Structures are given as C-alpha cells and as structure tokens.
Structure 1
Amino acid sequence: MMTALSVRGLTHAYAGTPVLRAVDLDVQPGQVVAVVGPSGAGKTTLFRCLTRLVRADAGVLEVFGADLQQLEGSALRDARRELGLVFQSYNLVRRLSALQNVLVGRLADVPAWRVVLRRFPVAEQDLAARCLDQVGLLAFAHTRADRLSGGQQQRVAIARVLASRARVVLADEPVASLDPASASAVLAALRSLATDHGKAVVCSLHQVDLVAGFADRVVGLRDGRVVLDLPADRFDAATARDLYSRTPERTSA
C-alpha cells in the first residue's frame, strides 16, 4: 500500500527564526493522526506547509508519491486535488445552502459556470446529498450556512471534503471553538472519513483529552520538532504533561 502522506526533513523559518525543524511524518490510508503541542510549537505552520499554502524552505512533502515541494502551477493544482482541507473558521459561503456549499467541493469535476449559476446536474446534487447524510445533516440540506450552528457548519465542511474525493484530509484545529457535544460530532465525522472511506486524516487538536477516542496515532510537536510519535492509547496524562511542561526526549512507538 502506498503511503498517503510522507514528510521528510520539512524545515521552515520566518524572518530567520526557525519554526519547523526537520519534521518527519508518515500517514497511511485509513489512518487518523492527531498533531498536538503547546502554543508556538509549529502546528499551524506545519499545516500551512502541508497544504502548500506556504512552501517550506526545505524537505520533502509527498502525497501519494508526488512531491508537492517540487511542483508549481497546474501540476501543483492537480496534485492538491488529493488534499481536502478543514479549517477552524469553516470557510463556507454563508449565503449558500449546506447542499450548495458541498457542491462547491466538486469544483475540480464540474464547469465553473455551474457554480456561478448554481446549476448542478442531478447526479452531482445526489452525491452532495449523500455526503450530507453521512455527516448527519441531510435535513439541513437547504438551510443557509449562516443559519447553522458552528458544529453543523464544520460538518458541512467535512461533507464538502467527502464530495471532493480527496484522499488526504488536513484539519487544522477543527473543533477549537466548539462546545463538547459539537466537537464530538465533528470528530466522529472526521473519523468516519478514515474508517468508512479509507482517507488519511491529519488533525491538529488543542484539547488533548479528545485524542484517545479519536486518533490512531499522536504526533507531538514542541519548538518546531517532532518529540513524540505514539499510538493514541499510549498518550496518557503523564505524557501530555511532559509534552506541555518541558522539552521531552523523542518518544516513538
């Protein structure tokens, strides 16, 4: 089985200050990896580099064998179709319905004019409806995004990723602003992308208590370095305290 996401020696600095220091990471299809660490550890920069919103200064970033670090223009756009992005801020078009927002995820497969005129083939609408159903929001298909709760909007964003057929999902702090019940529903929807659809999911989390019931593996960052990489069931309270209180030695499974 080809590795979904393979990162080697990813390094980046802002104004000469190192933010990522030779980060290594492998994620397999169907696997959920949680990225945790204290504020300033480099989590946000890592996700910006993984999505190629920022080009890292050095390193390898392979998505199903294609090194995004070496690509530009149309080749980069084609490779990035393998990436589904879920942001803390949802990134929905507020005036559009939940169904229409999911259909936006089909931009790579339908003509742009259909998006502008909001005219999609029945098959595309059926696909979007199925994706909403899988995240428990079919009843809200025709509700405007700005009338949904934060948790519901985030699940629409996940349905949009599902509709896009991306094989690697990158979720940057997707539940940071949600209440516990909404956070649980969002993480369950993300988890289903891996267990039910075989997607590789990488998710940064601020709430470390959510890790055990969600992820297969935990990667801990501190000062821009990977300092632990463990099965989620080995990420206990003592390990979390060590990560957040001081710089531990690298811990691996």
Structure 2
Amino acid sequence: MITVRHLGKSIKGETILRDVNLHIENGEFVVFVGASGSGKSTLLRCLSLRDSWDQGTVMLDGKDLGELNGFQKFLLKRKWAYLAEQAPLNPNRTAHKTVLGGLWDKFPLWRKLTGRAGVDDHVLAMDYLEQVGLLDKADNKISTLSGGEKQRVGIARELVRGAKVLFLDDPVAGLNPQAAEQVLAGLRSLCAERGVTVISTFPQLEWAEKYGTHLVGIADKTVAVDVKNRRLTMREKQIIFQ
C-alpha cells in the first residue's frame, strides 16, 4: 500500500531522517518506536503529507505522492486522518454530535443549509461510537469525558468521515494506563475488523509489542529494525535504544 524509498529530510541543514525504506500493507497497526528525538514524529508527518521531504519517494499503490498537485493532496488527506496527541474537540458538543459532524462534507447542500442530518446519518454516527466502545456516552458532552474517551471520539469522527488510514502521534499521551489500553485495543480491533490502517507513535515499548502488528524501530535517523507479528529481540531493542 505505502512504500517509502530512500526518504530523507533536513531542517536548517540538520539531518532529521536519512535513507528511510519502508513498506506498509493495508490493515496493519504500525508503531514507530525509538528514543526521544529519533525522528518518529517527523516520519509520521512526512507520510501523512503534513510535512515535505527532501530526498526519496513515498508511493501509494505505485503512485508517487510527491507528484500530486495541491487538489489531489487535499482529496487524499480526507481519507488519511492525522491526529496529534489529543484531538481538538468542542467541549460543549455531545459525543454523538461531534461524530455526526464528521459527515458534514458528505451532506447535500439543502442539509447544510438547514443544519439537519438524516436518520441514517445519526445511526451511522452511533455505529462508530459503538465501534470505539462509547455508545453509552453518546449524549455526554465532550467536557465530561475522560482523556481516553475524548481520543476515541476523535477517532470515531475521522472514521465516519471515511478515513482509511489513521496517522496518530502518541494517541495515549496523558492517559492513565487503563484508558490508554482501551484506546489501543480499539485501534487494534479497527485494523482487524474494518481493515483500517493505523500508523502511530507512542513511547511505551511494552504497548507497542502488545498491540502493534508491525514495529518500526528508528535509530541513527533511519529505519534500524522492521519486524511484523512478533516482539522485538533483546538485540533489536539495543539497536533502537542504544
């Protein structure tokens, strides 16, 4: 699905990433792991088209994303959701209305003018809240939800928009262990049951090994370890966190 070849990026003359090679398949839960400042978040932003790169290519099903024009990138970003830590949500809206808002772009003009959604739209929003385990919180205002619940509402909103790929920069930052594991378990289920591709960073190696299906270790500004469907060996951990 996504193939990265010899990607490199520098900022103000300082090399941030060099010669990154990577292949990501549909439905994988990919986790970038590495020491602080290793370039995990920068790589995530490059792949999600939030940042540019200086060298190499990023391919989607054989198409070079660097050759897309502005409008083509806009359309692709609507299918590729990027969430940095906590999703920005209106604290005064309910969880249901927040997820329903993800359908706004799909509403016909007359519905946008009246501000009314159809019954099917309401049901679809509830379906996605159920998918992230928050059906019982549908009528609760965002301000009353926990950090983990807010993050899951943000994910549900992107899914109802039609996102097929989720780029998540430390989606469990600031969450207690129980809430964090609920978020990660939900993401793993989305990959397995709906074929959603999740590409994420989070610092906890234990959780990366528990929930990720594809672990990418970043060290020395490049991909140093690339394994699927297993835990890291001691040697691999030493390479990444030396």
Check the 8 A contact 2:224/2:239 in 1, yes or no.
no
Where does residue 87 of structure 2 map in the other structure? 90
Query: 2:157 and 2:166 mapped to 1: Cα distance?
Result: 11
Q: Does 1:17 align with 2:44?
A: no
Where does residue 138 of structure 1 map in the other structure? 135
The residue type equivalent to 2:155 in the other structure is: I
C-alpha displacement of 1:67: 3.0
Query: 1:33 and 1:27 mapped to 2: Cα distance?
Result: 8
Where does residue 173 of structure 2 map in the other structure? 176
Where does residue 157 of structure 1 map in the other structure? 154
Within 5 Å, give how 1:110-129 maps onto structure 2: 110=107, 118-129=115-126
SS at match of 2:173: coil
SS at match of 2:203: coil
Check the 8 A contact 1:158/1:189 in 2, yes or no.
no
Give unmatched runs, 5+ long, in structure 2. none
The residue type equivalent to 2:241 in the other structure is: Y
Query: 1:160 and 1:242 mapped to 2: Cα distance?
Result: 38
Query: 1:237 and 1:93 mapped to 2: Cα distance?
Result: 44
Structure 1 counterpart of 2:29, from 22, 28, 32? 32
C-alpha displacement of 1:114: 5.4
Query: 1:223 and 1:116 mapped to 2: Cα distance?
Result: 53
Where does residue 67 of structure 2 map in the other structure? 70
Query: 2:182 and 2:132 mapped to 1: Cα distance?
Result: 8
Check the 8 A contact 2:225/2:236 in 1, yes or no.
no
Structure 1 residues 242 and 97, CA, compared in 2 at 3 Å: closer, same or farther? same
Query: 2:58 and 2:104 mapped to 1: Cα distance?
Result: 24
Query: 2:109 and 2:218 mapped to 1: Cα distance?
Result: 40
Deviations, residues 199-234 of structure 1 (Å, cap 9, x unaligned): 221111200010222011210012320000012423
Structure 1 residues 152 and 223, CA, compared in 2 at 3 Å: closer, same or farther? same
Point out the structure with the larger helix share: 2
Structure 2 counterpart of 1:50, from 47, 51, 61? 47
C-alpha displacement of 1:164: 2.0
Deviations, residues 152-198 of structure 1 (Å, cap 9, x unaligned): 01111121222122222211111121111001100011111210001
Structure 1 residues 106 and 209, CA, compared in 2 at 3 Å: closer, same or farther? same
C-alpha displacement of 1:19: 0.6
Query: 2:188 and 2:81 mapped to 1: Cα distance?
Result: 14
Structure 1 residues 204 and 228, CA, compared in 2 at 3 Å: closer, same or farther? same
Check the 8 A contact 1:84/1:164 in 2, yes or no.
no
Give unmatched runs, 5+ long, in structure 1. 246-253
The residue type equivalent to 2:151 in the other structure is: Q
C-alpha displacement of 1:123: 1.4
Where does residue 219 of structure 1 map in the other structure? 216
Query: 2:42 and 2:89 mapped to 1: Cα distance?
Result: 22
Identity of aligned residues (%): 35
Question: What TM-score comes out, normalization by structure 2 length?
Answer: 0.91
Question: What TM-score comes out, normalization by structure 1 length?
Answer: 0.87
SS at match of 2:211: coil
Query: 1:147 and 1:113 mapped to 2: Cα distance?
Result: 33
Structure 1 counterpart of 2:3, from 6, 25, 32? 6
Q: Which moved more, 1:176-185 or 1:5-14?
A: 5-14
Structure 1 residues 122 and 210, CA, compared in 2 at 3 Å: closer, same or farther? same
SS at match of 1:106: helix
Query: 1:161 and 1:243 mapped to 2: Cα distance?
Result: 32
Where does residue 197 of structure 2 map in the other structure? 200
Q: Does 1:188 align with 2:203?
A: no
Structure 1 residues 64 and 120, CA, compared in 2 at 3 Å: closer, same or farther? farther
**Runs of 4+ in structure 1 displaced over 4 angstroms?**
111-118
Query: 1:33 and 1:73 mapped to 2: Cα distance?
Result: 27
